[in-house]
């Protein structure tokens, strides 16, 4: 398991180096990219901030639950600070024996992080707003 929150560029290649996919049949990954528009309004960048200790704790809980459900290894890295349109804000990866379980686990990690982890974003562009 690998979980991190940081400023600066992140990549799937970096995440994958931390995961043990030996003997598995599937590696499924996700890159979340800042969209250049939201609800018809231009977005130049997003500013992410978090309650770091709690965010890391919650992210570890989410990934641990996925591992407890039979996934071999999984991880996630989320950026904070300024992330420009077109840049990656989150990467997640899952190693599993079978693709179906890997896809489901990766989707679960990303969905639960968005729902449960104290990371907030401020869209900066045509309209500036916290979400």
6 is written with which tokens?
A: 């940081």
Dump strand ranges (E) for the chain.
2-6, 26-33, 37-38, 41-50, 73-79, 81-84, 88-96, 119-125, 129-130
How far the first Cα of the chain sits from its last, in Å, is 29
Domain count, the chain: 1
Return d(Cα 101, Cα 43) in angstroms, integer. Answer: 34
Whether residue 127 is predicted with pLDDT greater than 90 in this model: the reply is: no
For residue 130, what pLDDT is reported? Answer: 82
Q: Is the CA virtual torsion 107, 115, 10, 41 positive or negative?
A: positive
- Supply the range of the domain harboring residue 120: 2-130
pTM value is 0.95
Q: What is the pLDDT of residues 68-104, one digit of tens each?
A: 999 999 999 999 999 999 999 999 999 999 999 999 9
What CATH number has the domain bearing residue 108?
3.90.1170.40
Residue 77 CA from chain centroid, whole number: 5
Q: In this structure, what are the phi and psi dihedrals at residue 80, rounded to the nearest 5 degrees? A: -130, 170
Burial class (CB in 10 A: 0-12, 13-18, 19+), 22: exposed
For residue 129, what pLDDT is reported? Answer: 78
**What's the whole-number mean pLDDT along residues 6-13?**
97
For residue 125, what pLDDT is reported? Answer: 93
List of residues 6+ apart from 106 with CB closer than 8 A: 28, 29, 30, 74, 92, 93, 94
Q: What is the CA radius of gyration of the chain?
A: 15
């Amino acid at each position: 398991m690998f979980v991190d929150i940081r400023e600066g560029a992140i990549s799937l290649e970096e995440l994958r180096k931390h995961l043990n996919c030996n003997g598995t049949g599937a590696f499924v990954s996700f890159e979340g990219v800042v969209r250049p528009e939201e609800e018809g309004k231009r977005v130049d960048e997003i500013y992410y901030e978090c309650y770091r200790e709690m965010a890391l704790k919650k992210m570890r809980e989410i990934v641990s639950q996925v591992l407890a459900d039979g996934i071999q290894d999984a991880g996630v890295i989320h950026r904070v600070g300024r992330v420009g349109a077109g840049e990656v804000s989150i990467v997640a990866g899952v190693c599993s024996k079978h693709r179906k379980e890997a896809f489901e686990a990766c989707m679960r990690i990303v969905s639960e992080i968005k729902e449960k982890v104290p990371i907030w974003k401020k869209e900066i562009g045509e309209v500036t707003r916290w979400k």
